[in-house]
Amino acid sequence: MPIFYGKQIDSALMLGTAQYPSPKIMAEAFQASGAGIATVSLRRERGDGQSFHALVRDLGVIMLPNTAGCHSVKEAVTTAHMAREVFDTPWIKLEVIRDHDTLQPDVVALIEAARILSDDGFQVFPYCTEDLSICGRLLDAGCEVLMPWGAPIGSGRGLNNPYGLRSLRAHFPDVPLVVDAGIGLPSHAAQAMELGYDAVLLNTAVAKAGDPVAMARAMALAIEAGRLAHGAGPIERRDMAAPSTPLIGMAVLQ
C-alpha cells in the first residue's frame, strides 16, 4: 500500500468528490471503492443544503484538499492556505492550470508554488506532467510525491504516454508516484498499477458513469489486479511466438 509523507494508506485508489448525481451516490461509490483518500476542492461548499465538507468527512477517509481551478502562483498559494485552515491538514494537491482546453499544468508556476508551500510546511502533491526534468525540479522544491497525468482531466483517454510514465517510474524508483487524471476504464487503472505506480487518482470515470457505484467497485478490483500483477513479475513482451509445450521428448513420426 502507498506511503505518502510517512503515512501509510489502506488503498491504492484515490477518488475525487465532484460531479456525482447526489451525495448519497457519492457515499455509496466511496464505500464500494474502498478508496483511502478523497480529494476535495475548497470551492465546493454545499451539497443539497448541507456542508459539503461535512459530507466528505462523513466518508471516513483521509481528505486531500486541492487547488483546482487556480491559474497563478498567488491564487494557488492563497487557496492552499485557506484549505489548511478549513481542513486542518498540511496536505495539499497542488494544481496550477495553464491551458483551458487541455487543463495541462503550468509547470513553471507549479514548481514555484510547490517551493513556496513546501517552505511553509505544506506536504505537496503536485499535479504535473510525466516530464523527467520537471518532476526532478518538483522534488528539489520539496515535494515527496509526484502525480503525473495519464491524459487530460476528464478525457477518459487512459495513459497517453506509457513510455514516459514507465521512464518516470524507473528514474525515481523510491518516490511515491500517482497517475492522476485521464483514467476512463478499469483497464486504464490496471495498466497504471502494472507499470509500478503506487496509486491512481480518478473522479470523472466513476462520478459520471451510468452506475457510479458499480464503476467504483470495478476500478477497485482493477487496481488490485494491476498491483498484484506488477508484484508477480510479468513476462517480457516478445516479437515471436514461444511454445508453452516443450519440444524435447515428443514423438517423431516418419
Instruction: Please identify every residue annotated as catalytic.
Output: 93
Which residues belong to the annotated binding site? 154, 181-182, 203-204
85 contacts: CB under 8 Å, gap ≥ 6: none
**Distance between CA atoms of 66 and 18, rounded to whole angstroms?**
12
Triad 68, 140, 131: Cα angle to 5° = 65
| Helix or strand holding residue 93 (H, E) | strand 91-94
DSSP reduced 3-state for 72: coil
C-alpha cell at 117: 508551500
What b/e string do you get for 151-179 counting C-beta neighbours within 10 Å, with b at 16 or more?
bbbbbbebbebeeebbebbeeeeebbbbb
Question: Parallel, antiparallel, or unpaired for β 46-47 and 13-16?
Answer: unpaired
In Å, how far are 35, 36, 61, 196, 228 from 9, measured between CA atoms?
A: 9, 6, 10, 16, 17
CA dihedral for 199, 26, 52, 185, sign (positive or negative): positive
Location of C-alpha cell 457510479: 212
**Distance between CA atoms of 207 and 11, rounded to whole angstroms?**
19
Q: At what angle do helices 107-119 and 73-87 cross, to 10 degrees?
A: 40
C-alpha cell at 88: 486542518
Which residues belong to the annotated binding site for 1-deoxy-D-xylulose 5-phosphate? 154, 181-182, 203-204
